[in-house]
Amino acid sequence: MIIENFKHKMAAHCESGTITSLLNHAGMQISEPLVFGISSGLFFGYFHKMKTFPFPTFIVRNKPGQMRINITKRLGTKFNESSFRKNDEGARKLDDLLQHNIPTAAQVDFFYLDYVPSWERVHINVHFMVVIGKEGSNYIVSDSYFPEPVTLKSSSLDNSRFAGGSMSPKGFIFHVADIPSSVNYKAAIIKGIKNVCFNMLRIPVPFLGVKGIRLFAKKIIEWPNFARDTEHLSHEIMKINILLEDQGTGGAGFRFIYATFLQEAAEILSKPELSGLSRQLMEIGDGWRELSLFAARIGKNRDLGPEKLKQLSGLIQNRAEVEEKFFTELNDVIKRV
Amino acid sequence: MKEIEGIANCPEQQVILYVEKEDGKFGPIQTGSYLSANYLDDYFYKRKNLELSLRKRVINGEISLVYYYMVLVDLSISELASRAGISRSIVKKHFEPKHFGKCSVEGLRKYAKVFNVPIANLLQIVLINMDDHLESLFILENKTRNISIEQNSTNNPYLSVSKIEERGK
């Protein structure tokens, strides 16, 4: 069986895409940029030494799962959520929901999804997708990174829902329980923007927000010390491009989707200044993209000497400067609304 | 970013990018991954070299296949330990062939699940003769131009079945 009236749609990001699809299915017409912006998805964090990661890395979005929590608080939507200690209980609950025609989002480890090309498959426990049907021993999945719904073996889904490690999904699933009859979008947008400005400018942690971008710029020069050899360093430097462009960001580490959100917000709040800021952020995003293409190029050419890394560091440092200015201005504008 | 700048040709990996459309509005386009369209050959080149260097070390008795797979699937020691449910210190010991011998079959099953390979592949490297060199089955993703190899798990947690078939038949 398959939930016939569920409309599969590609999205920039798995979590905002999944939430958008579920809300749209439940009758709430809302765009992915609005979901992303209201839930304060934009973020930056740099992790130089963390046991979870084999190499220094960074993130460009808020904590996985936080988007759903923020949307619930700010839009008044309700989700039914379940986690499981036993795999078979998790499978039974999912099958039961599908039997009742309820599209159900699942948190999974990306590594076991056999429909994903091999070069994309990595162990990361925070991918979200919507399960929309089951045929024999295969599930039908609406994964927002794919143009059409895909099929997934039940054993693969089981492995991915119950993978261990950091942020283990523990079979986590959720579905829409209720949507409000009316929503105060203005208040939700203002809260979402204020939260992002706080996270980027004032969060008191030295590796998060704009401070995190500065730390990234400073520390990337030390990356050769962590690499096995030049090819390893090349791989990690090219991963900057993957994290900013390819891993479900909508381009430029979510800056483009956030610019789109600000354009929508300008209309809803009748605040033309936000429209100007959205253009500014699009340009800032172009700078991130330039940086990520530079990383891909020097990685491919194995041109990874100290001078090139310094140049890359300079490009990152420059993003910190422009983003500090941008979010300060955005914060001032939103405070006056 | 203007719409035209976001276009890349890669049918295997499609992405959504948010761009500036002709009317000045920002919105999504579906396009190919720029990196995969332009740099995928380099990814596979590096991956093959990495596998070959690790394979040599396994064959020389310097490392076990636990270490080999951990590096190939890009996991940290802590993350592997946490995923397998084996302590970090024991995992580190299992990297050395002399201690790997003390790993139980149940331990192998746990590692195999994390790496998504049959248990048997923690005790062997399957190589395929490709024109002028031997290539690992793991890197080839179980297929060549002429054959495909399916390694399926069974209801018996300690048994997998390998089926080798000529492709196109």
User: Cβ–Cβ of A165/B50 closer than 8 Å?
Assistant: no
Closest-approach residue (CA) in chain B for A242: B35
User: Which residue among A147, A260, A300 sits closest to B42, beta carbon to beta carbon?
Assistant: A300
Q: How far apart are CA B152 and CA A93, in angstroms?
A: 26
Contact B74 A54 (CB under 8 A): yes
The model's pLDDT over B122-138, given as tens digits with 9 standing for 90+, comes to 999 999 888 788 889 88
ipTM of the complex: 0.95
Nearest to A260 among B26, B34, B82 (CB): B26
CB A187 within 8 A of CB A286: no
Chain B CB contacts of A149 below 8 Å: none
Tokens of A217: 């710029």
Q: What is the mean pLDDT of chain A?
A: 97
Chain B environment of A241 (Cβ under 8 Å): 34-35
- Bin A252: left if φ > 0, else alpha if -120 < ψ < 50, else beta: left
Quick one: angle between helices A272-300 and A255-269, nearest 10? 170
What integer is the mean pLDDT of A114-143? 96
Q: Do A52 and B79 touch (CB under 8 A)?
A: yes
Q: What is the pLDDT of residue B26?
A: 98
- Chain A residues in contact with B141 (beta carbon < 8 A): 118
Nearest CB to A51; choose among B20, B46, B76: B76
Tell me the count of A-B CB pairs closer than 8 A. 129
Q: What is the pLDDT of residue B128?
A: 87
Q: Is B77 helix (H, G, I), strand (E, B) or coil?
A: helix
DSSP calls for A9-36: ---SSHHHHHHHHHHHHTT----HHHHH
Of residues A80 and B164, more confidently modeled: A80
Residue A93: pLDDT band (50, 70, 90) is: very high
Question: B134: how many CB neighbours lie within 10 A of its CB?
Answer: 12
Q: Using CB atoms and an 8 Å cut-off, which of residues 110-169 of chain A contact chain B? A: 111-112, 117-120, 122-123, 144-147, 155, 159, 163-166
What is the distance in angstroms between the Cα of B85 and the nearest Cα belonging to chain A?
A: 8
Ordered by start, the domain boundaries in chain A are 78-178, 185-335
Bridge partners of B32? B14
A32 interfaces chain B, CB cutoff of 8 Å: yes
Residues of B in contact with A155 (CB under 8 A): 153
Which chain A residues are closer than 8 Å to B30 by Cβ? 10, 147
Residues of chain A with Cβ-Cβ distance to B83 below 8 Å are: 123, 163-165
For A108-124, what is the mean pLDDT? 95
Binding-site residues on chain B for chain A (CB distance < 8 A): 1, 6, 12-20, 25-28, 30, 33-36, 38-40, 42-44, 46, 49-50, 73-79, 82-85, 113-114, 116, 141, 153
3-state helix, strand, coil in chain A (%, to 5): 55, 15, 30
Identity at B107, one-letter amino acid code: G
DSSP one-letter string for B104-116: -HHHHHHHHHHHT
Q: Which residues of chain B are modeled with pLDDT < 50?
A: none
Helices (H), chain B: 3-6, 34-59, 65-72, 77-84, 88-94, 97-100, 105-115
| Confidence at residue A235, expressed as pLDDT on a 0 to 100 scale | 97
Task: For residue B23, give every residue at least 6 positions away whose Cβ sits within 8 Å of its Cβ, in sequence order, or none.
Answer: none
Residue A167 pLDDT grade (very low, low, confident, very high; cuts 50, 70, 90): very high
Look up residue A9 and give its two tokens. 């749609």
The answer, yes or no, to whether residue A133 has pLDDT greater than 90, is yes
Say yes or no for a CB contact (<8 Å) between B15 and A248.
yes
Q: For chain A, how many residues are written?
A: 337
Q: Are A109 and A166 in contact (CB under 8 A)?
A: no
Q: Which residues of A touch B75 (CB under 8 A)?
A: 54, 123
Domains with residue ranges and CATH for chain B: 3-36 (no CATH), 63-166 (1.10.260.40)
Q: Is the pLDDT at A249 greater than 70, yes or no?
A: yes
Residue among B20, B49, B78 minimizing CB distance to A282: B20
User: Quick one: CA dihedral A322, A328, A332, A333, positive or negative?
Assistant: positive
Residue A49 burial (CB count, 10 A): 9
Q: Which two tokens stand for residue A97?
A: 């929901």
- Partners of A176 in the β-ladder: A79
Partners of B74 on chain A (C-beta within 8 Å) are: 54, 122-123
Beta bridge partners of B29: B17
Across the interface, of B38, B78, B116, the residue whose CB is closest to A111 is B116
Residue B3, pLDDT score: 94
Chain A from 170 to 199: CB within 8 A of any B CB: none
Among A residues 296-335, those touching chain B with beta carbons less than 8 Å apart:
296, 299-300
- Answer with the residue of higher pLDDT: A288 or B126: A288
Q: Which of B25, B73, B153 sits opposite A123 (nearest CB)?
A: B73
pLDDT, residue B169, reads 59
Mean pLDDT of A122-129: 97
End-to-end Cα distance, chain B: 47
Separation of CA A19 from chain center: 12
A78-178 sits in which CATH class?
alpha beta
How close A87 gets to chain B, by Cα (Å)? Answer: 15
What is the pLDDT, as a whole number, of residue A147? 97
Q: Which pair of tokens denotes residue B139?
A: 């890197």
- Are the Cβ atoms of B28 and A286 closer than 8 angstroms? no
Phi, psi at A63, each rounded to 5°: -60, 135
Burial class (CB in 10 A: 0-12, 13-18, 19+), A312: buried
From B1, B35, B78, residue closest to A241, measured CB to CB: B35
Chain B residues within an 8 Å CB radius of A232: 50
pLDDT at B153: 83
| Contact (CB<8Å) A12/B17 | yes
